[in-house]
Structure 1
């Protein structure tokens, strides 16, 4: 009698743009999944660095999609039009998954009524060295959809640490592609999905997140890159981009879901970006001025944070107070410690 293989339940979509040095590692990690029938789709966003040859080298083991350069939002839109599995992981081309990642998230989907399962990522440097840091720092996603309706962004890993139900994600996507909205597709996926249904969390690392930015410990300079974990120009630029994306998400939430979101969001990560940019390397008088006249929103995202324990709130308050120490080496170290988890690991 003929045998029939089990239907594919999950696709790992790798969105790539000029990441040839890392692309093979991402694809290999997707192909090594222990769960049966996992599909791998690679969307190349008009790369010019030899990525095409790497992709074609995998033959029919992957689904290769080549599109003109249009940015990450365009790639997500394209993928969601093509997907034929009920679940998806969007893996950044410089990141990697553990072999049992798909197996673990599929089991979690089967065990509960979730539209997203998130998991921790181990942070590695550009050359693949593990730092001992994991993200997110907090994995509490209790009532995150309700909190999001109040404007609170919940703790989530970067894009590679999330698995989604495709039917739910299609209620948010496609996202408009405009001149100022070509990147940050994971923002709409991560937060938009919580407006559609429940989010589950696996409190163990199932992947690796690569950080390309140099920290102060590595460079000996007090540059803005040391104030952010994310692969962005600087922390403040990332906060401003999040504000623009929130405005777009508000429009999508109303048009497609009938949900009214607040005009502004609340997120300690965004507030600490402003805090770190203003206070790192600043004279004592400037730091005092910030505490007395500009810090109310920063401290509100600590005191009222619905995802933090009282112990964590107290710890961040105490660390923030160290920024008033007149010794620059102490105050700057405190700023970096708050702003970037890698600073806590000596990077």
Structure 2
């Protein structure tokens, strides 16, 4: 029987780590191994992790960031497949079995699946990610500069052999985080990607599920994420060139990336600033919609229409539209209120 390693990378998440470990140990696939890497936590995480004894493999290391944890996890995972689970997320029972069926029925480098969005207390919000289904040959689109739709880190399982063609990723002072970026997108350059079209786990957001929030991702502030993505793309280009002999374009296209710029430029901005952005700076945002290879014509038209409402001289409407576009939880909140 082929083996799957669930590698849980933890840093100061004593509040959630037990739930992540329990969800991994409760998998019904008999070839599942659970590895927990604690990246120098200073809270009570260590005692919780140690309480599981021999049921898991635990490693306690000095703080080095997500890249160092992924590098070590892949080194320790002496299995055919690996899933990196964030320590504040959970897997549903049967997730590994479902993923392994997909691996065994097709020769793919990665299997991804939807994640339900839960709040801090673990309550379902009604949202899930991603909403678009990528094609099997994501590598061709990546070579054209398009980041394909993918769930966050916990919704991806990899063929270890494929992932090791790109990893280990260089560990530098400016490259401590974003290991999931290199894994999610880089592995598509090695082999096909498959998707299970239903939720097999849950992604926890630390923002409140209310209409006033524009932030959705946990790892970085909305204004910092675009710059971080550009730096990671540059690193991925170097890895692809050096290890795979493949040349990625200088820049990439991705609506999730562009909507962060959209938000930072338009949210709570005066009318003149909104129009200045639309006239002078909105090309990449519009291109990520119009040329998007994953979206239907209806979705493209709807997103363009909503975006245009931000140019009306009524700031409450503009701010509402920005929240609606950038944060799926705001959409859910609005639906509940109606």
TM-score per shorter chain, which class? over 0.9
CA apart distance, 1:214: 3.7
CA apart distance, 1:141: 3.0
Distance 1:232 1:41 in 2: 22
Q: TM-score, normalised by structure 1?
A: 0.94
After TM superposition, what 4+ stretches of structure 1 lie above 6 angstroms from structure 2?
none
Three-state SS of the structure 2 residue aligned to 1:114 is coil
CA apart distance, 1:324: 1.4
Three-state SS of the structure 2 residue aligned to 1:235 is coil
Name the counterpart of 1:14: 8
Q: TM-score, normalised by structure 2?
A: 0.96
Given that 2:91 and 2:200 are in contact with CA atoms closer than 8 Å, whether structure 1 keeps it comes out as: yes
State yes or no: 1:83 paired with 2:77: yes
- Structure 1 unaligned blocks of 5 or more: 1-6, 221-225
Cα displacement string for residues 65-107 of structure 1 (whole angstroms, at most 9, x for unaligned residues): 1111111100110111111110011000000000111000000
Three-state SS of the structure 1 residue aligned to 2:63 is coil
Three-state SS of the structure 2 residue aligned to 1:252 is helix
State yes or no: 1:304 paired with 2:291: yes
CA apart distance, 1:129: 1.4
CA apart distance, 1:216: 5.6
Correspondences of 1:137-152 after superposition (within 5 Å): 137-152=131-146
Three-state SS of the structure 2 residue aligned to 1:336 is helix
Distance 1:304 1:142 in 2: 19
Name the counterpart of 2:153: 159
Name the counterpart of 1:211: 205
Name the counterpart of 1:271: 258
CA apart distance, 1:215: 5.6
Match among 34, 54, 60 for residue 28 of structure 2: 34
Distance 1:106 1:325 in 2: 50
Name the counterpart of 2:325: 338
Name the counterpart of 1:259: 246
Distance 2:11 2:26 in 1: 22
Distance 1:102 1:215 in 2: 29
Given that 1:227 and 1:277 are in contact with CA atoms closer than 8 Å, whether structure 2 keeps it comes out as: no
State yes or no: 1:44 paired with 2:38: yes
State yes or no: 1:229 paired with 2:216: yes
Name the counterpart of 1:223: none
Distance 1:16 1:263 in 2: 33
Q: CA RMSD in A?
A: 1.2
Name the counterpart of 1:319: 306
Distance 2:283 2:230 in 1: 18
Distance 1:35 1:142 in 2: 25
Name the counterpart of 2:99: 105
CA apart distance, 1:307: 1.1
Distance 2:310 2:209 in 1: 19
CA apart distance, 1:167: 0.5
Match among 163, 166, 181 for residue 169 of structure 1: 163
Name the counterpart of 2:226: 239
Three-state SS of the structure 2 residue aligned to 1:156 is coil
Distance 1:124 1:141 in 2: 27
Deviates more, 1:19-28 or 1:315-324: 315-324
CA apart distance, 1:8: 5.0
Deviates more, 1:171-180 or 1:132-141: 132-141
Name the counterpart of 2:182: 188
Given that 2:240 and 2:247 are in contact with CA atoms closer than 8 Å, whether structure 1 keeps it comes out as: yes
Aligned residues: 334
Given that 2:223 and 2:264 are in contact with CA atoms closer than 8 Å, whether structure 1 keeps it comes out as: yes
Given that 1:141 and 1:155 are in contact with CA atoms closer than 8 Å, whether structure 2 keeps it comes out as: no
- The change in CA–CA distance for 1:215 and 1:328 in structure 2 (over 3 A counts) is farther
CA apart distance, 1:285: 1.3
Three-state SS of the structure 1 residue aligned to 2:333 is coil
State yes or no: 1:95 paired with 2:89: yes
